[in-house]
């Protein structure tokens, strides 16, 4: 079964909007684990508009499932990852002022940089994953960078799902097959939801992990956090 890692950034956004510690991020993460979440994902940004570096340290000390830290490997991010030593680091090429991640790496043009970063994290025992668009050449070049996994950027799949889910999934199946062929593990994330997750998991059954935050937390406002985590997990059962 594909594992569900819950991105808790939106919980931090709500907390930060009023200051203080409500909702409590650490309690929410521990509850997510208790409700069946198999990992916690965070994406700290330099402006700390949601997850703070201090949150990352507290989460690593408290949770029992895998911690996945996403972000652009700028020096401060690299230092944080090396200090915290999460189970996984996902390399994302987002600008500092980006609202959310909006593109995968060009793993050909940035090969030397990515090789150096992956080697540093791998030597520290941290699994690396490179965020890529569903393009076979980018997946294959990621393998040459020394990463253990790639994460497919699924916004295009989610956007095209209603109109033609078969056409929307096709490039992702091709990219996922390329990852398997070159020996890479496979993650996926961005705009996956209760509407489109089950079909994705059925068509790419060898996906190791999905990372879901925005849709899951939004659903939890209506359905409750415990129920929502379990509904998402059911989408991944095959």
Residues forming the active site: 43, 70, 190
Phi, psi for 39 (deg, rounded to 5): -175, 160
CB 108 within 8 A of CB 137: yes
Assign residue 136 a region: left if phi > 0, alpha if psi is -120 to 50, beta otherwise?
A: alpha
Residue-wise DSSP of 38-102: -EEEE---TT-SSS-HHHHHHHHHH-SSEEEEEE---HHHHHHHHHH--SEEEE----TT-SS--
């Amino acid at each position: 079964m594909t594992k569900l890692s819950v991105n808790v950034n939106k919980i931090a956004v709500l907390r930060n909007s009023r200051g203080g510690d409500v909702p409590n991020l650490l309690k929410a993460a521990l509850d997510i684990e208790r409700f069946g979440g198999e990992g916690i994902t965070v994406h700290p940004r330099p402006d700390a508009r949601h997850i703070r570096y201090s949150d990352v340290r507290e989460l690593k000390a408290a949770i029992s499932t895998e911690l996945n830290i996403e972000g652009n490997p700028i020096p401060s991010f690299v230092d944080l990852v090396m200090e915290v030593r999460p189970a996984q680091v996902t390399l994302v090429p987002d600008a500092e002022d980006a609202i959310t991640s909006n593109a995968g790496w060009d793993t050909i043009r940035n090969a030397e940089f990515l090789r150096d970063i992956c080697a540093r994290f791998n030597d520290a025992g941290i699994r690396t994953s490179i965020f890529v668009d569903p393009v076979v050449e980018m997946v294959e070049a990621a393998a040459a960078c020394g990463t253990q996994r790639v994460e497919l950027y699924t916004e295009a799949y989610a956007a095209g799902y209603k109109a033609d889910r078969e056409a929307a999934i096709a490039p992702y199946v091709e990219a996922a097959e390329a990852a398997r062929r070159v020996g890479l593990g496979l993650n996926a994330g961005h705009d996956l939801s209760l509407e489109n997750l089950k079909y994705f998991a059925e068509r790419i059954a060898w996906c190791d992990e999905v990372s879901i935050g925005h849709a899951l937390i939004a659903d939890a406002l209506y359905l409750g956090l415990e129920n929502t985590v379990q509904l998402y997990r059911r989408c991944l059962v095959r």
